[in-house]
Amino acid sequence: MAEHPCPKWLDNAIFYEIYPQSFQDSNGDGIGDFAGILSRLDYVAGLGCNALWLNPCFASPFGDAGYDVADYFQAAPRYGTNQDLKRLFEEAHRRGMHVLLDLVPGHTSVEHSWFKQSMRAEPNEYTDRYVWTDSVWKSPEGYGSLRGISARDGSCAVNFFSCQPALNYGYYQPDPAESWQQPTDAPGPQATIRAMIEVMRFWLRMGCDGFRVDMAGSLVKQDPESLGTMGVWRQVRAFLDEEFPEAAIISEWGEPEKSLACGFHMDFLLHFGSSRYNDLFRCENPFFAGRGDASAFAARYLESRAAAAGRGLVCIPSGNHDMERLARRVHGERLKLAFAFLLTMPGAPFVYYGDEIGMRYLEGLPSVEGGYDRTGSRSPMQWDSSPGAGFSAAPKERLYIPQDEAPGRPTAEAQLQDEHSLLNEVKRLTALRQRHTALQSWGEIEFVHAPKNACPLAYLRRGGGETLLVILNPSDEEAVCPLPQAPKELLYSIGNPPKLRPGEAAVPPVSCAVFAL
């Protein structure tokens, strides 16, 4: 029995999220691919990240950047073959890295063969694979629907965009007057769960190490307390424990009190939900931009940790493909403080590709593949000073998404050479985290100072026999931090180190310090 209810490798995992379209193009077609990712594994490892999350890379018409899967068992040809993906797993493992794929269990593309079969008038194996009403004139209450596109008489619920019909996991509280609302233990919903488990088994056997799970909290319909959806995940977790105990599942859910209770190993804090994540990075006055408030975040964070009761982890991403880039509101040296926070918090941190060099959010880009205002966070990685920034040899007009054209656009190459760069700070911070168990996933946390609308934010991390104190002051003013005890040693600092006085520290503006107590 493991010490913690999670695969051991999550203890010190630091993830790097790769949006495959935009990371590295190896064949000059203007879009990223598996071979490109493979060629950059050493860069990711050099950053200190030892795990990857790849956004969906399966066959798809890409109406929602691949979150509309047409075949769960087939890599998207534009990225390469299943064999290429297998090789990527192997090469990552050779470097001591783990790889998560993106599982989209709630919906498919309208192009999926399951959906095509399900649209037929004659009953067949897939008739109940999706949520259909019994008449084209009736829509499923509370959901958008697809109507008038099938020989079958009925409307099909959609989960997100109109091209994403909802898979049928049943209704938790079916209305007895609507016999098309199937209970969760009906054959249709149970077959959907088995099909999804088959998808997971296929890729786990191929060598992936687990899944980031898309919209994990919304599978069962009419399920106000999420009890039905939680039942689905308990079944999935039982399968994993039995067959792949080292695999990790990480939920896009944002309610750790639910997700961790039903089997997820880790849940994301997200830009939606009640986590107060936005207070730190993405609101009018984010804490890390220097004038915001971290107190509500700290209180909420502790509440959800308490509710999670040690069953799993909560992870905080620098950003992702759905939210504006970190560098949209947090600038300059303060970006280093944001990373100091991310890399000293419990749970395995996630670095969104390009955030480590402060890639900008590109305003006003035309939507690409269902990106809409998310497109500005999905532009191609900036590797070097060549015209395509080392991302692609394709002419500019053929790039998947236009690149940042600003003359001083940040690049990995330039930042690797500058010891004061954000990239090198991130490298030092990942190394610091790896040297101290207290800073890793399971180290305890206690906020010692999280005042309302003031700085600094300070917390203790405990683990591996040591206690560390992290102090962050993103504001323009010197700030005073009460000290629970006299620090023994300054382990790390950004900006000027604090001046220690009896019982308190004077913390310079825009600075961070990590002390051993």
Give me the residues that bind ligand NOJ (CB under 6 A), please.
64, 67, 104, 160, 214-215, 252, 321-322
Distances (CA, A) of 411 to 8, 384, 397, 416: 34, 5, 20, 9
Taking the complex as a whole, the smallest distance from the CB of residue 217 to ligand NOJ amounts, in Å, to 11
Q: Comparing C-alpha atoms, which of 193, 199, 279 is closest to residue 232?
A: 193
- Which among 138, 178, 130, 177 is positioned nearest to 154, based on CA atoms? 138
**Angstrom distance (rounded) from CA 378 to CA 393:** 18
Nearer to ligand NOJ, 100 or 298 (CB): 100
Beta strands (DSSP E) in 87-213 are 98-103, 145-147, 155-157, 210-213
C-beta closer to ligand NOJ: residue 354 or 456: 354
As measured in angstroms, the least distance from the Cβ of 118 to ligand NOJ is 19
Using the minimum distance from each CB to ligand NOJ, give the nearer residue, 63 or 347. 63
Q: How far is the CB of 213 from ligand NOJ (least distance, A)?
A: 10
CB of 448 to ligand NOJ, least distance (A): 35
Q: What span, in angstroms and rounded, lies between the C-alpha atoms of 111 and 63?
A: 10
In this complex, which beta carbon is closest to ligand NOJ, that of residue 11 or of residue 214? Answer: 214
How many C-beta neighbours within 10 Å does residue 99 have? 23
Choose between 160 and 515: whose C-beta lies nearer to ligand NOJ.
Answer: 160
Separation of alpha carbons 156 and 175, rounded Å:
17
What is the Cα–Cα distance from 277 to 268, expressed in whole angstroms?
A: 10
Residue number, 282 or 433, with CB nearest to ligand NOJ:
282
SS3 32: coil
The gap between the terminal CA atoms of the chain, to the nearest Å, is: 32
CB nearer to ligand NOJ: give 14 or 213. 213
Minimum distance from CB of 410 to ligand NOJ (Å)?
24
Nearer to ligand NOJ, 214 or 356 (CB): 214
Instruction: Give the shortest CB-211-to-ligand NOJ separation in angstroms.
Output: 13
Nearest distance in Å: CB 376, ligand NOJ: 14
CB of 157 to ligand NOJ, least distance (A): 14
Q: Which residue is nearest to ligand NOJ (CB)?
A: 67
**How many Cα atoms are found within 13 Å in the side-chain-facing hemisphere of 464?**
16
Q: Which residues contact 173 (CB under 8 A, 6 or more apart)?
A: 222, 223, 224
How many Cβ atoms are within 10 Å of 224's Cβ, its own excluded?
8
DSSP secondary structure of 262-276 = TT-SEEE--SSSSS-
